[in-house]
């Protein structure tokens, strides 16, 4: 580092949903994760101080892009982190790219982020819809859940998740017995559950997210879906399980990029995170720590905060830390790493607070994420 860092400061902007629908899975926890990463890094790169700023985009893309513009133009923010909710991510990415600033996404999952809408300055770090669908679909079929019925949120995200999972289920030798498209948002799932029950499928796939998933799981419990049928949540975070309680959620399958109690490294990070926030990290929050660390390491390695150089270094260096095994960032910006299939424990199996998952299977990076050859990103040279 010899003054190649513009204005002598590395400024990290955590732009996330502080109060809205995603504030539990990202939000203040994402900010805490970024701050932890900076502290662990030492707070400085050479003489340049590392500073973290944050803002609430309220899930409004216009607010997000306005903040991003101001950060870049007036506050010399070098990198924008998290961007939970795909609409804000997709709104900020081109703004940042046009000004040669890096975006490190952890919260959103939409496939076009690294597909049609990819930019050269973006990293999609934690998960995407494809990974959730493929992970859960394939792994559940392999563990014996052959016949499926889908309850799908009727909008692009839900439908993509459903279609992806269906094709994986079929490709892995499972059967799809039916599906029902519920409007988004829905609070009462009882009639959809009734349809799922009468289909007789072994697995009820929940192709939805957030409050919808939570209500669906809760009501599945009420209507006595188990033990005849199991649920597979296609996008479930540990914060959701925490608010549902194990009694309600037990036996459900889900895919995750991170579980705090998986190995020593993850436990060590999570304990510290817990001390700060009184919650265990979600995969999004752990992803924020890991991606910020990776970014800072890249600056350190290149000695500059020039976006092109940093991006190149980030792509060239594999990620191997408590979060990611065999992680690699492709030219489309997608970070491909191992994912895990988890089953939610029953209350009597849980030994301590937040002891929620049994990791059933590791899904290797090349199965979890779409191969580069299928990428719709124009930046990928084929």
Partner 1 sequence: MSRDPAAPRADPAGGARSGATPSATTEPLWRRRIFWAYALMVVLGLVAPYVVYPDFAMNVLCLALFASAFNLLLGYAGLLSFGHAAFLGAAAYAAGVVTRDLGLPTEAGLLAGTAVATLMGLVFGLLAIRRSGIYFAMITLGFAQLVYFLAVQLPWTGGEDGFQGIPRGRLLGVVDLGHSFSMYYFTYAVFLGGFWLIHRTIDSPFGHVLRAIRENEPRAVSLGYDVARFKLLAFVLSAALSGLAGSLRAIVNQFAALPDLHWHTSGSVVLMTLLGGLGTVMGPSVGALLVASLEYKLASFGSWVAVITGAVFVASVLAFRRGIVGEVRALVKRSF
Partner 2 sequence: MTQALFGQLLLGLINGSFYALLSLGLAIIFGLLNVVNFAHGALYMLGAFLAWIGLTRFGVSYWVALIAVPLVVGALAIGVERTMLRRLYGLDNLYGLLLTFGLALVAEGVFQNAYGISGNSYPVPEALRGGVRLSFMYLPLYRAWVVLVSVAVCFASWFVIERTRLGAYLRAGTENPHLLQAFGVNVPLMFTITYGYGAALAAFAGVMAAPIYQVTPMMGSSIVIVVFAVVVIGGMGSIVGSIVTGLGLGLVEGLTKFFWPQAASAVVFLVMALVLLVRPAGLFGRER
Q: Which stretch binds partner 2 (CB under 8 A): 99-107, 214-222, 269-277, 351-359?
A: 214-222
Of 163, 158, 215, the closest CA to residue 190 belongs to 215
Other beta carbons within 10 angstroms of residue 367's beta carbon come to: 17
CA triple 157-158-163, angle to 5 deg: 100
Return the residue of 71, 192, 273, 340 that touches partner 2, per CB under 8 A. Answer: 192
Q: Which stretch binds partner 1 (CB under 8 A): 4-12, 66-74, 274-282, 352-360?
A: 66-74
Q: How far is CA 234 from CA 30, 71, 135, 196, 289, in A?
A: 22, 34, 9, 16, 24
Size, binding site for partner 2 by CB under 8 A: 40
Return the SS3 of 108: coil
DSSP letter at 321?
A: S
Measured from the CB of residue 292, what is the shortest distance to partner 2 in angstroms? 23
Measured from the CB of residue 57, what is the shortest distance to partner 1 in angstroms? 7
Q: Is the dihedral of CA 63, 237, 206, 173 positive or negative?
A: positive
243 binds partner 2 (CB under 8 A): yes
Looking at the Cβ atoms of 19 and 143, the one nearer to partner 2 is 19
163 binds partner 2 (CB under 8 A): no
Measured from the CB of residue 188, what is the shortest distance to partner 2 in angstroms? 5
Q: For residue 224, what are the contacts with CB-CB under 8 A and spacing of at least 6?
A: none
Measured from the CB of residue 319, what is the shortest distance to partner 2 in angstroms? 29
19 binds partner 1 (CB under 8 A): yes
Of 101, 91, 112, the closest CA to residue 157 belongs to 112
346 binds partner 2 (CB under 8 A): no
Which partner in partner 1, partner 2, none is near 60 (CB below 5 to 8 A by kind)?
Answer: partner 1
Measured from the CB of residue 353, what is the shortest distance to partner 2 in angstroms? 14
Of 133, 110, 113, 129, the closest CA to residue 121 belongs to 113
Q: Which residues, numbered 327-366, are part of the site for partner 1 (CB under 8 A)? A: none
Of 332, 319, 331, 326, the closest CA to residue 366 belongs to 326
183 binds partner 1 (CB under 8 A): yes
Return the residue of 1, 9, 51, 156 that touches partner 1, per CB under 8 A. Answer: 156
Q: Which stretch binds partner 2 (CB under 8 A): 14-22, 61-69, 86-94, 126-134?
A: 14-22
Measured from the CB of residue 186, what is the shortest distance to partner 2 in angstroms? 7
DSSP letters of 238-301? HHHHHHH-HHHHTT-EEEES--TTSSHHHHHHHHHHHHHHSSPPPHHHHHHHHHHHHHHHHHHH
Matching residue, tokens 């092109």: 308
Q: List interacting residues with partner 1 (CB under 8 A).
A: 18-19, 23, 28, 53-63, 65-67, 69-70, 73-74, 85-87, 90-91, 94, 110, 112, 117, 154-157, 159, 183-184
């Amino acid at each position: 580092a010899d003054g190649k860092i513009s204005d002598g400061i590395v400024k990290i902007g955590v732009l996330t949903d502080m109060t809205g629908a995603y504030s539990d899975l990202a939000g203040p926890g994402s900010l805490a994760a970024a701050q932890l990463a900076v502290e662990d890094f030492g707070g400085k790169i050479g003489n340049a101080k590392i500073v973290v700023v944050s803002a609430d985009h309220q899930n409004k893309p216009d607010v997000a892009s306005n903040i991003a513009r101001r950060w870049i133009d007036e506050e010399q923010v070098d990198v924008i982190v998290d961007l939970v909710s795909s609409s804000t991510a997709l709104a900020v990415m081109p703004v940042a790219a046009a000004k040669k600033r890096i975006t490190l996404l952890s919260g959103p999952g939409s496939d076009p982020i690294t597909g049609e809408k990819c930019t050269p300055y973006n990293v999609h770090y934690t998960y995407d819809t494809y990974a959730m669908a493929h992970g859960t679909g394939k792994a559940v079929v392999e563990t014996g859940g052959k016949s499926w019925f889908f309850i799908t949120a009727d909008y692009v995200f839900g439908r993509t998740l459903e279609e992806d999972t269906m094709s994986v289920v079929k490709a892995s030798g499972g059967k799809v017995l039916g599906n029902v498209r519920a409007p988004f948002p829905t609070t009462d799932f009882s009639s959809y559950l009734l349809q799922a029950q009468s289909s007789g499928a072994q697995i009820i796939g929940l192709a939805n997210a957030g409050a919808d998933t939570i209500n669906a799981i809760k009501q599945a419990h009420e209507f006595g879906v188990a033990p005849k049928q199991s649920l597979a949540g296609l996008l479930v975070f540990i914060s959701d399980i925490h608010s549902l309680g194990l009694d309600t959620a037990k036996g459900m399958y889900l895919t995750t990029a991170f579980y705090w109690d998986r190995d020593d490294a993850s436990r060590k990070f999570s304990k510290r995170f817990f001390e700060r926030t009184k919650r265990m990290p979600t995969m999004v929050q752990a992803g924020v720590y890991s991606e910020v660390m990776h970014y800072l390491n890249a600056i350190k390695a290149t000695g500059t905060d020039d976006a092109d150089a940093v991006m190149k270094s980030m792509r060239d260096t594999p990620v191997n830390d408590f979060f990611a095994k065999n992680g690699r960032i492709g030219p489309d910006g997608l970070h491909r790493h191992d994912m895990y299939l988890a089953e939610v424990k029953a209350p009597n199996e849980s030994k301590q607070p937040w002891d929620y998952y049994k990791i059933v299977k590791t899904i290797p990076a090349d199965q979890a994420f779409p191969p580069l050859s299928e990428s719709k990103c124009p930046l990928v040279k084929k």
